Amino acid sequence: MPRAVVALRLPLPPTENHLYATFKGRRIKSKAAREYEVLVGRAVLAAGLAGVKFGGPVELSIRLYLSRDRDVTGNKALQDSLATAFGFDDKVIVRLVVDKQIDRARPRAEVQLRELGLADLLALGVKPC
């Protein structure tokens, strides 16, 4: 059975500072985070990828095209939205690759999700569960 691999071009996710709000003393997903999750789900549907399932460990590669230089360590909204859209728990992401470039005219996130096999895990030095 072939391993799942998908690629998507998405708008940039909300920054970490805009992911949560406090409501009646509780931390909840912000409106921006909820809207981004819906947007990613629609992009997956539009790309015809709704039936793709990941049955094992996943590598997530993210290339951010930014309008200005900034920190790129926080990608929780993107990871959560992809996990929700494809129906997996984001803890199965065992490898995360993030790089950035400046593109003032077209800021975006280009992502690739790749299901990893045993040989991939061993090559990465990841202990299979």
The enclosing H or E element of 33 equals helix 31-46
Report the largest interatomic distance among the alpha carbons of the chain, rounded to a whole angstrom.
Answer: 49
**Structural domains of the chain, with CATH:** 5-124 (3.30.1330.70)
Structure tokens at 24: 């009646």
Q: What is the pLDDT of residue 72?
A: 83
pLDDT tens profile 99-111: 999 999 999 999 9
Residue 120's pLDDT is 82
The whole-angstrom separation of Cα 76 and Cα 1 is: 30
Predicted TM-score of the model (pTM): 0.87
Assign 129 a pLDDT band (cuts: 50, 70, 90): low
Handedness of CA 16, 18, 23, 28 (dihedral sign): negative
- pLDDT tens track for 63-120: 999 999 988 887 899 999 999 999 999 999 999 999 999 999 999 999 999 999 888 8
CA 86 to chain centre: 10
